[in-house]
Amino acid sequence: MIASTKVLDALKGIGLNLYERKLWIALLARGNSTAGELSEIADVPRSRAYDVLQSLAEKGFVVVQTGKPIRYVAVSPEEALERAKRKLEEDFKTTVERINALKESPVMRELMDIYSQGLKLVSPEELTGALKGKFSVFQQLDSMFKGANQKINIVTTPEGLNDLFSNHFETLKKAKEKGVEIKIVTNSSERCSDAIKALSSIAEIRVANDKEIPISGRFTVVDGKQLIFGLTDPKSVHSTQDLVMWSKSEHAASQVLEPLFNLVWNHSKAVS
């Protein structure tokens, strides 16, 4: 193997698949080569080498030299990474523009009609699923907060409180401005003083009494209709492995978790 495992793992982290990594490393070692030569060096099937090298060229890692046979020229790692970054930025900008255009087009109305018809075929209790990874959890919470009309009740940890401040403050602030009541209970006020100070301007925050209610989990209930319940301890798993359960079950939201929230709330004290 020309490159170390550490190098290959780093390239995987920026989105290169195994064949792309192998062929690019092989080309860096050769400087200029054909697909056939590189496939042998990198131990990549010859039938795949052309497509993979074309993909690398589109990403900015390789320069294609026309001729017979087609040859490929290595780009310095520093320049290749800069090209790849610019390409991603351009693709991101284009995709965002297309999404914004789609949201304003007649196609969006048709998609919403299809979604609305689909909802009629299922009960709210069937709209339940697991969300994995902090990014997915944050997205779902943000959607729930945006759709809130009456109340948002949250039980969380100090770390969760910091996440609310860092990722959802503006959304919660807008919810507050439209009249939504926001209550948050945490099991400790340590390590989250800045978050408490900021969130206190839009929410009522209390600290649970550990002796009476020794709770350290996470759950959120919105309007007594929708909930998120943490299944893992974020401190003991990687952010990509964080797991929660989401549901639109009004029974679970209003008859199970909301009474539990009220119990915790009534045995908590206001943050001083």
Whether 190 and 252 map to the same domain: the answer is: yes
The residue among 61, 96, 121 that closes a domain is 121
Whether 144 and 183 map to the same domain: the answer is: yes
Whether 144 and 264 map to the same domain: the answer is: yes
Specify the pLDDT at position 127: 65
The residue among 15, 40, 75 that closes a domain is 75
Q: How far apart (Å, rounded) are the C-alpha atoms in residues 159 and 217?
A: 11
Among candidate residues 79, 78, 74, 80, the one with its CA nearest the CA of residue 31: 74
pLDDT at 35 exceeding the cut of 60 = yes
Helix (H) or strand (E) holding 47: helix 46-59
pLDDT at 125 exceeding the cut of 70 = no
Residue-averaged pLDDT of the chain: 89
Chain-centroid distance, C-alpha 25: 30
Whether 116 and 133 map to the same domain: the answer is: no
Specify the pLDDT at position 65: 87
Whether 115 and 131 map to the same domain: the answer is: no
Show the domain range for 230: 127-270
Q: How far apart (Å, rounded) are the C-alpha atoms in residues 236 and 247?
A: 24
Residues 6+ apart with CB under 8 A from 266: none
Whether 258 and 216 map to the same domain: the answer is: yes
Whether 196 and 248 map to the same domain: the answer is: yes
Whether 258 and 134 map to the same domain: the answer is: yes
Report pLDDT digits (tens) over 41-93. 999 999 999 999 999 999 999 999 888 889 999 989 999 999 999 999 999 99
Report pLDDT digits (tens) over 249-270. 888 999 999 999 999 999 899 8
Q: How far apart (Å, rounded) are the C-alpha atoms in residues 247 and 251?
A: 10
The two beta strands, 181-186 and 204-208, are parallel
Q: How far apart (Å, rounded) are the C-alpha atoms in residues 136 and 145?
A: 14
Contact 220, 144 (CB under 8 A): yes
Mean pLDDT of the region 121-146 = 83
- Indicate whether this model's pTM tops 0.85: no
Which domain CATH number covers 197? 3.30.870.10
Least confident of 35-39, 117-121, 220-224: 117-121
Maximal CA-CA distance, the chain: 79
- Determine what percent of the chain falls in helix, strand and coil, rounding each to the nearest 5: 55, 20, 25
Whether 171 and 136 map to the same domain: the answer is: yes
Whether 103 and 69 map to the same domain: the answer is: no
Please indicate, yes or no, if residue 80 is contained in any of the structural domains.
no
The size of the chain, in residues, is 272
Whether 249 and 138 map to the same domain: the answer is: yes
Whether 141 and 114 map to the same domain: the answer is: no
Number of domains in the chain: 3
